[in-house]
Amino acid sequence: MQLIRLVATRVGWAALTLFLVSVLVFIMVDLLPGDAANASLGRFASEDQLETFRAREGLNDPAFERYGRWIGQVAHGDLGDSIVGSLPVWQILGPRLANTLALAALSMAIFLPLVVVIAAIQAARRERPVDHALSFVTLVVFSIPDFFLGTVLLLLFALAIPILPAISHVDSDTALPAYLRALVLPALTIALVMTVHTVRMLRDNLIEVLESEYVRMATLKGLRPWRVLFVHAFPNALVPSLNIVALNFAYLIGGVVVVERIYAFPGMGSLLVDAVKNLDYPVILATTLIASVFYVAANLVADIVTIIVNPRLRNP
């Protein structure tokens, strides 16, 4: 019962957080400079055309009325219609969301084994040359901005060794092999960025656990080193890193604008940039809200898993 109450409390706080985020996002979007009518109709539109557009889209209504109308539509699964193209937002957002989720899945598939292997090697060989070398490499990569790292990988694997496409533009007609090849470079860039942010923490957690009494006892019992590391040490070392992994996943959904721009990948990040440029309020609101849902959900899952794995957190 205690576990159920804790999970229900976390879910309640997550729902309240999403509500407050929706209010904040709507306010920030409403404060964006510019006129959506001018952005949509162009500078040669007459004043009558502009006023008709504003009336049709409800742009002249008070902010609280527009928020109530929008959040009511969202509650019924309707994200509204794009101001620019007059298409349903889901029709515009759906393919971009699918692309971003595919990119996130491949990035995580590269990231998780990479960070586990590097952290395990460093923890097992702590304070030895291999540990210092890997620490130096991760520090160097950590110091490189996303756009520069993406550019280096682009020059290396698309020009110097032309095995991957330089442009990751995909659409509904792209064949699966070409689609997967287009994902590799942006996914590798994102995975490397996430790895250097996570591997140091996991290494330190592993070293702390490896020096604990129960792990030393397992070693004295004659268990193989790999079994001690992965069976006895890793489960406890992973718990403090779960929130970092959750933040990385949230970063994948809405924070990869730079990487998407470098490779011309049609994901949610680039869609948000275009929507802000065109003052397409429904698309901006939908994109930021969905990114917030993934962010809150990732942290919620991390909290619940932490509570399940670590029973001590269940005590009030």
Residue 314 has pLDDT above 70, yes or no: no
Question: What is the C-alpha to C-alpha distance for residues 72 and 34, in angstroms, rounded to an integer?
Answer: 26
132 confidence band (pLDDT: 50, 70, 90) = confident
pLDDT of residue 302: 77
Query: Do residues 282 and 237 touch, judged by C-beta distance below 8 A?
Result: no
pTM > 0.75: yes or no? yes
Residue 249 has pLDDT above 80, yes or no: no
Q: Is domain 89-314 in CATH 3.50.50.60, yes or no?
A: no
All residues at 6 or more sequence positions from 138 whose CB lies less than 8 Å from its CB, including other chains: 118, 195, 196, 199, 200
pLDDT of residue 313: 57
pLDDT of residue 311: 61
Q: What is the mean pLDDT of residues 203-208?
A: 81
Encoded amino acid at 183, one letter: L
Distance of CA 12 to the CA centre of its chain: 22
Q: What is the mean pLDDT of residues 269-283?
A: 85
Query: Do residues 250 and 295 touch, judged by C-beta distance below 8 A?
Result: yes
Residue 119 has pLDDT above 80, yes or no: yes
Work out the mean pLDDT of the chain and round it to a whole number: 82
255 confidence band (pLDDT: 50, 70, 90) = low
Domain boundaries, the chain: 89-314
pLDDT of residue 316: 52
303, burial (CB in 10 Å: exposed 0-12, middle 13-18, buried 19+): buried
pLDDT of residue 197: 76
* Distance between start and end Cα atoms, the chain: 13
Which one, of 36, 103, 27, lies nearest residue 256 by Cα?
103
pLDDT of residue 312: 60
Q: What is the mean pLDDT of residues 80-88?
A: 81
pLDDT of residue 168: 87
Residue 296 has pLDDT above 80, yes or no: yes
C-alpha separations of 283 from 26, 64, 159 in Å: 12, 19, 35
254 confidence band (pLDDT: 50, 70, 90) = low
Q: What is the mean pLDDT of residues 49-54?
A: 80
pLDDT of residue 276: 85
Question: What is the C-alpha to C-alpha distance for residues 242 and 35, in angstroms, rounded to an integer?
Answer: 43
All residues at 6 or more sequence positions from 25 whose CB lies less than 8 Å from its CB, including other chains: 285, 288, 289, 292
pLDDT greater at residue 251 or residue 171:
171
Which one, of 122, 255, 132, lies nearest residue 201 by Cα?
122
